[in-house]
Chain A
Amino acid sequence: MSKKKKAPAVRRRRRPQREMSGFAPMLVVGFAGAALYSLGSAIIMALGIAPTIVLGFTGKGEFKAERLQCVGFCNLAGVLPFMYQAKLRGWEAVVGDAINIVLMFGSAAIGYALVYVGPMVAAFVLQGLNEDRLKKIGQQRQSLVDLWSHEVLGDREEEQKQNAGKGFIR
Chain B
Amino acid sequence: MSGENAPVPDSQSAFGDRYEVITATPLPEFSTRGGDAFAVKDREKSGGDIYALVHHPSIPLRNEVYKTLRGKPVANLICPVDRGLMNLLINGRKVQRLVTIFGRPTGGALMGQDGKVNPRVNANRLRQNVALSILKAITALHKRGFMHRSIMPTNVYFSTPSSDDVVIGECYSMPPGYQQPFAMESLDLALADGTARGAGDVESDYYQMGATMQALYFGEQIWRGRDRDSMLMARVNQGSFWALSGGREVPGALGSLIRGLTADEIDERWGAEEVLDWFEGVGKPKRTTMKAWSMNRPTNFKGVAVVDRRLLAHAFARDPAEAASFLKSIDFPSWVQMSFRDEILTDRLESLLNVKPDSGFGGMRSDDYKMVTRVCMFLHPTGPIHYKGHSFFLGGIPSMIAEAFSRDDRETLSAIVDLLDAKFLQTLADVAEVQGVKLGTHLADLRRVMAFAASKQLGKGMERVLYELNPILPCVSQRFGNVWIGSIIQMMRALERIAASGTTRNILLDRHLAAFCATHGVDLEREFNNLAAAQHSPAKFNSLSLNFFGLLQQRCKMEALPNLTSKLVDGLAPAVKGLKNKKRREQVQAALEKSKKGGDIAKLSSEVNMVKVQAEDAREFAQARTLVARLERERKKLLRKVQPNDPEARKIGLKGSRIIALAGFLIVAFLTFF
List residues of A whose CB falls within 8 A of some B CB: 62-63, 66-67, 69-74, 76-78, 80-81, 83-84, 111, 114-115, 117-127, 130-131, 133-134, 137-138, 140-141, 144, 146-149, 151-154
Which of B631, B642, B645 is in CB contact (< 8 Å) with A127?
A: B642
A127 near B654 with CB under 8 A, answer: no
Residues of B within 8 A of A134 (CB): 635, 638-639
Residues in B neighbouring A130, C-beta threshold 8 A: 638, 642
Cα of A123 to Cα of B650 in the assembled complex, Å: 8
Given contacts A122-B649, A149-B582, contact A69 B624 (CB under 8 A): no
Q: Which residues of B contact A123 (CB under 8 A)?
A: 642-644, 646, 649, 653
**Nearest opposing residue in chain B for A119, CB measure:** B653
Are the CB atoms of B634 and A119 closer together than 8 Å? Answer: no
Q: Looking at the complex, which one of A125, A138, A148 makes contact with B582 (CB distance below 8 Å)? A: A148
Subset of 26 A-B contacts with CB under 8 Å: A62-B647, A66-B658, A69-B658, A69-B661, A73-B661, A73-B665, A74-B665, A84-B673, A114-B657, A115-B657, A118-B655, A118-B657, A118-B660, A119-B646, A119-B653, A122-B649, A124-B642, A126-B642, A126-B646, A126-B652, A133-B634, A144-B628, A147-B582, A148-B621, A149-B580, A153-B628
List B contacts of A67 (CB < 8 A).
654
Identity of the chain B residue whose Cβ is nearest the Cβ of A79 in the assembled complex: B668
Asked if B433 CB lies within 8 Å of chain A CBs, one says: no
A72 — which chain B residues lie within 8 A by C-beta? 661
B residues in contact with A63, CB < 8 Å: 650-651, 654
Q: Is B574 an interface residue (CB 8 A)?
A: no
A77 touches B621 (CB 8 A): no
Binding site for A on B (CB under 8 A): 580-583, 621, 624-625, 627-628, 631-632, 634-635, 638-639, 641-658, 660-662, 664-665, 667-669, 672-673
Asked if residues B631 and A140 are in contact (CB atoms below 8 Å), the reply is yes
Q: In the complex, which residues of chain B have a beta carbon less than 8 angstroms from the beta carbon of A118?
A: 653-657, 660
Contact between A122 and B631, CB atoms less than 8 A apart: no
Contact A126 B648 (CB under 8 A): yes
Q: Which 7 A-B pairs have the closest CB atoms?
A: A119-B653, A118-B657, A122-B653, A118-B653, A73-B661, A66-B654, A114-B657
A152's partner among B625, B655, B657, B658 (CB-CB below 8 A) is B625
For the complex, give the distance between the alpha carbons of A81 and B632 in Å: 54
Please give the distance in Å from B648's CB to the nearest CB on chain A. 7
Grouping DSSP codes into helix (H, G, I), strand (E, B) and loop, the A interface class, with mixed when no group exceeds half, is helix
- CB pair B645–A119 under 8 Å, yes or no, is yes
Q: What A residues does B638 contact at CB under 8 A? A: 130-131, 133-134, 137
Inter-chain contact B654/A119, CB cutoff 8 Å: yes
CA distance A149 to B660 in the complex (A): 50
Q: Are the C-beta atoms of B644 and A120 separated by less than 8 Å?
A: yes
- Interfacial chain A residues near B581, Cβ < 8 Å: 147-148
In the assembled complex, the Cα of A81 lies from the Cα of B644 at a distance in Å of: 34
Nearest-Cβ distance from residue A23 to partner chain B, whole angstroms: 14
Q: Contacts A70-B657, A84-B673: A137 and B582 contacting too (C-beta < 8 A)?
A: no
Most buried by A among B582, B632, B645, B665: B665
Q: How far is the CB of B660 from chain A (nearest CB, A)?
A: 6
Q: A130-B642, A134-B635 are in contact. Are A120 and B669 (CB under 8 A)?
A: no
Closest Cβ–Cβ distance, residue B670 to chain A (whole Å): 10
Knowing that A122-B649, A148-B582 touch, tell me 12 more A-B residue pairs with CB under 8 angstroms. A62-B647, A76-B665, A77-B667, A118-B660, A119-B646, A121-B653, A123-B643, A127-B642, A137-B635, A141-B632, A147-B581, A153-B628
Contact of B656 among A69, A121, A147, A153 (CB under 8 A): A121
- Chain B residues in 8 Å Cβ range of A138: 635
Nearest-CB residue, chain B, relative to A115: B657
**Is there an interface contact between A137 and B634, defined as CB atoms closer than 8 Å?**
yes
- Chain B residue numbers with a CB within 8 Å of A133 are 634, 638
Contacts of B645 in A (CB 8 A): 119
**Most interface-central of B627, B632, B658 (chain A CB within 10 A):** B658
User: Chain B nearest CB: distance from A135 CB in Å?
Assistant: 10
- A contact residues around B634 at 8 Å (CB): 133, 137
Find out whether the CB atom of B582 lies under 8 angstroms from the CB atom of A77.
Answer: no
A117 touches B582 (CB 8 A): no
Closest to B656 in A: A118
Decide if A152 touches B628 in the complex (CB within 8 Å): yes
The chain B residue with its CB closest to the CB of A153 is B628
Contact partner of A141 (CB less than 8 A), chosen from B582, B631, B665, is B631
Contact B672 A84 (CB under 8 A): yes
A151: min CB distance to chain B, Å? 6
Could you tell me if B649 and A152 are in contact, using CB atoms closer than 8 angstroms? no
User: Given B648, B649, B654, B672, which contacts A80 in the complex, CB threshold below 8 Å?
Assistant: B672
| Complex alpha-carbon distance, A78 and B638, angstroms | 40
Q: A147 contacts B661, CB within 8 Å?
A: no
Q: Please, which residue of chain A has its CB at the minimum distance from the CB of B652?
A: A122
What separation, in Å, do the CA atoms of A137 and B673 have in the docked complex?
52
In the complex, how many angstroms separate the beta carbon of A103 from the nearest chain B beta carbon?
Answer: 12
Specify the chain B residue showing the minimal Cβ separation from A141.
B631
Q: Which residues of A sit under 8 angstroms from B631, Cβ to Cβ? A: 137, 140-141
Q: How far is the CA of A133 from the CA of B655 in the complex (A)?
A: 23
Structural contact, B649 and A114, CB atoms closer than 8 A? no
Q: In the bound complex, do residue B644 and residue A119 qualify as a contact, i.e. CB atoms below 8 Å apart? A: yes
> How far is B639's CA from A131's CA once the two chains are assembled, in angstroms?
8
**A141 partner residues in chain B, CB cutoff 8 A:** 628, 631-632, 635
B644 to chain A, nearest CB (A): 4
Shortest distance from the beta carbon of B152 to any chain A beta carbon, whole Å: 72
Report the minimal beta-carbon distance from B630 to chain A, rounded to whole angstroms.
10
Query: Closest chain B residue to A120 by CB distance?
Result: B644
Tell me the bound Cα distance from A66 to B642 in angstroms: 20
Minimal beta-carbon separation of B586 from chain A (angstroms): 11
Other-chain contact of A77, B635, B644, B661 (Cβ < 8 Å): B661
A146 and B661 form a contact (CB under 8 A): no
State in angstroms the CA–CA spacing of A134 and B632 once bound together: 10
Residue of B whose beta carbon sits closest to that of A64 = B654
Q: Which residues of B contact A62 (CB under 8 A)?
A: 647, 650
Partner of B657, one of A117, A125, A153: A117
Contact in complex: B656, A127 (CB < 8 Å): no
A140 to B630, CA, bound (A): 11
Chain B residues, Cβ within 8 Å of A131: 638
Q: Which residues on B sit within 8 Å (CB–CB) of A71?
A: 661
Is there contact, CB below 8 Å, between A144 and B624? yes
A13 to B501, CA, bound (A): 84
Report yes or no: A126 in contact with B649, Cβ–Cβ below 8 A: yes
